[in-house]
Structure 1
Amino acid sequence: MTAAYATGGGQRSLPVPDGLDGLRLDQAVARLFGLSRTTAAALVDAGAALVDGTVRANSYKIRAGSWLEVTLPAPAAPPAVVPQAVSGLRVVYADDDIVVVDKPVGVAAHPSPGWTGPTVIGGLAAIGHRISTSGAAERQGVVHRLDVGTTGIMAVAKSEQAYTSLKRAFKYREVEKRYHAVVQGHLDPLRGTIDAPIDRHPHHDYRWAVVSDGKPSITHYDTLEAFPAASLVDVRLETGRTHQIRVHFSTLRHPCVGDLTYGADPTLATRLGLDRQWLHARELRFRHPRTGEEVCFVSDYPDDLDRALGILRD
């Protein structure tokens, strides 16, 4: 459950819904107001969340029908897009409507609170690409995202028409997104579909998890090559949830090699020289928003992933 109560700062008062009965107070505040668990816990610690007029601890189990009063902080100003040259960011294709890039590791798609590193949007601005202003100001032209630690093909809309068209295409699953991943062990079956809902992890802000009331999430995979300790798989996403591939394979007990956040073996990661997940956005195929012609873009493996693959093959 999420709620649209947190439209700005100030006090919010409401009864606790039935669906939150028995939850910890910090969990309930986080869910009701769309906050992170860390932010919600800080509000409770500061006495900014009252249950029936009384200050309670984060661990307090709330009951349906109790009256909850929360004083929310004023919303932070959206992070600004700062033109900044990004080493390794390669433009694969560009015209008046779209720009397609090969994103290096360590680069976020767009500015966000708490992120001070380079971004694709900032990198494109630095080399003179005018990006669509649709959507939130800090997410200019972004129609899909890659994790900071994931490399590969990413498309950005430059025109308003392209932004509208591509957002629709992603929403209605008209874009083919293929990734290559190296996962631990051998999948059984070698080819299959993972259909498991995903939402925020109930206990860790920075992680996502398969949860019963999460958003529908579907991942198709096919084993391309098997090694003694791992497998190279081709992955096609039917949906595009945050960390979807990482969460789904971790749930199967076959996490992406090097993905320590989701349970990968640190010894294997060290042997392969990896300090991030072996996951690469290999191919992106869609209809051009202006011409309607199908376009396809492919990215080669970056050096660190290629080296790791070579070690597995030896």
Structure 2
Amino acid sequence: MSKQQFEITETYQNQRIDKVLTDLNENASRSQVQSWIKDGLVLVDGETVKSNYKCQLGNHIEWEEPEVQELEIEPENIPLDIVYEDEHLLVVNKAKGMVVHPSHGHRTGTLVHALLYHCDDLSGINGVYRPGIVHRIDKDTSGLLVVAKHDQAHERLSDQLAHKDIKRQYEAIVHGRIDHDKATIDAPIGRDPNDRQKMAVVENGKPAVTHFSVVERFDQFSHVYCDLETGRTHQIRVHFKYIEHPLVGDPKYGRRKTLDVQGQALHARKLAFTHPMTGEEISFTSEPPDIFKETLDQVAKLY
């Protein structure tokens, strides 16, 4: 366990201890922090407290973050839609609803489990939980992503990603009619200060740029293509909420009254990059899943 300490400043005065520690521990959820408090791993001025304790100015907080229990990842025979494969990499069309890599909330059934069954070797740069994963897309976002089979390919692909040389285009269905044909959303993204489980446009966030064009307009919806200049967590979802055109079906950033499309209507449709070993420029495009197409038909008939 790693012991950490903090003295309560005016910023955190009168806030609940579980909220304070969630803010201070970027990778911990509020429920995790509450379990630390329950297990006596959090001390305020040397005493245990309850999760609803209101912090006072000058309180000395000590806490121990328990070591993460190792997950054992067993290969699973899960069908994969492989768009391209050679001895260096794969391009996979990920199904909507599939989690990319295992975590304590998703111990089985992920893309990584399927890849380990399909491939003898994957790059080890991202560790045992994310072998081969160069970039990720959300569980309910479908579409293309590239997977590296060895470290050299992974390093070169990651370098392309860092230098914005991998081109990624998404398509989405959003609420509201967007009347202009093209636009750029340039707004920094960071943790939502009011909800640590969400991202938001915040003043001190990391730079985030999304270019988009309108493909189709409906009375109360728009079908858009989005080109990412950066790749922040939930970038498209957060940016379209920010401009008041949230994604249809988005359970985290969308409207309460929306269409049931089993999660956000978002598909990674195009992926283009330089092959890390041959230097060849390669590009892939995939059609959105049936539920996306059916939703487009539905919004066209609604009004």
Equivalent position to 2:96, from 96, 105, 117: 105
1:156 matches 2:147: yes
- What amino acid is aligned across from residue 73 of structure 2 in structure 1? V
The yes-or-no answer on 1:83 pairing with 2:75 is: yes
- Three-state SS of the structure 2 residue aligned to 1:105 is coil
Provide the TM-score with structure 1 as the length reference: 0.86
- The 3 A distance-change label for structure 1 pair 11 and 197 is same
The question of 1:254 aligning with 2:254 is answered no
Partner of 2:42: 49
1:269 aligned to which of 259, 266, 276: 259
- Cα displacement (A) at 1:257: 0.8
- Per-residue deviation, 1:143: 0.7
Q: Secondary structure at the match of 2:231?
A: coil
With the length of structure 2 as denominator, give the TM-score of the two structures.
0.89
Could you list the per-position Cα deviations for residues 22-61 of structure 1 after superposition, in whole angstroms to 9, with x for gaps in the alignment? 6542233123333222212332344432233344454555
Following TM superposition, by how much is the alpha carbon of 1:237 offset from its aligned partner in structure 2, in angstroms?
Answer: 1.1
CA-based RMSD of the aligned residues comes to 2.3
| C-alpha separation in 2, matches of 1:125 and 1:199 | 32
Label 1:166 to 1:19 Cα distance change in 2 as closer, same or farther (>3 A).
Answer: farther
Cα deviation code 1:86-141 (max 9, x no counterpart): 24x21110111110011111211111121144222221222235211222111001
- Partner residue of 2:290? 303
Residue type of the partner of 1:193? Answer: T
The counterpart of 1:126, out of the listed 117, 120, 130, is 117
Preserved contact between residue 108 and residue 117 of structure 1 (Cα < 8 Å): no
The aligned length equals 300
What is residue 29 of structure 1 aligned with on the other side? 21
Distance 1:40 1:213 in 2: 25
Q: Give the match for residue 291 of structure 1.
A: 278
Change (3 A) 1:22 1:178: farther
In 2, Cα distance between equivalents of 1:286 and 1:231:
28
Q: Can you give the 5+ residue segments of structure 2 that lack an aligned partner in the other structure? A: none
Helix, strand or coil at the partner of 1:152:
strand
After TM superposition, list the pairs within 5 Å mapping 1:112-191 onto structure 2.
112-187=103-178, 189-191=180-182
Q: 1:238 to 1:62 in 2, by over 3 A?
A: farther
Return the letter of the residue paired with 1:30.
T
Is 1:67 equivalent to 2:54 in the alignment? no
| Cα separation, partners in 2 of 1:175 and 1:21, compared to 1, 3 Å | farther
1:217 aligned partner = 208
Q: Matched residues in 1 for 2:163 and 2:14: separation?
A: 37
Per the alignment, do residues 126 and 278 of structure 1 end up closer, same or farther by CA in structure 2, a change over 3 Å counting?
A: same
Q: Is the contact made by 1:185 and 1:254 (CA closer than 8 Å) also made in structure 2?
A: yes
Q: Secondary structure at the match of 1:11?
A: strand
The sequence identity of aligned pairs, in percent, is 36
- Between 241-250 and 67-76, report the one with greater CA deviation: 67-76
Give the SS at the match of 1:132: coil
In structure 1, runs of 5+ residues without a counterpart are 1-8
The 1:139–1:19 alpha-carbon spacing in structure 2 relative to 1, beyond 3 Å, is: farther
8 A Cα contact 2:88 2:149, kept in partner: yes
Counterpart of 1:300, as a letter, is: E
Per-residue deviation, 1:151: 0.4
Aligned to 2:236: 245
Aligned partners of 2:140 and 2:262 also within 8 Å: no
Residue 163 to residue 254, structure 1, CA distance change in 2 (3 Å): same
Q: Give the AA of the match of 1:44.
A: I
Q: Using the alignment, how far apart are the partners of 1:14 and 1:252 within structure 2?
A: 37
2:102–2:129 CA contact under 8 A, matched in 1: yes
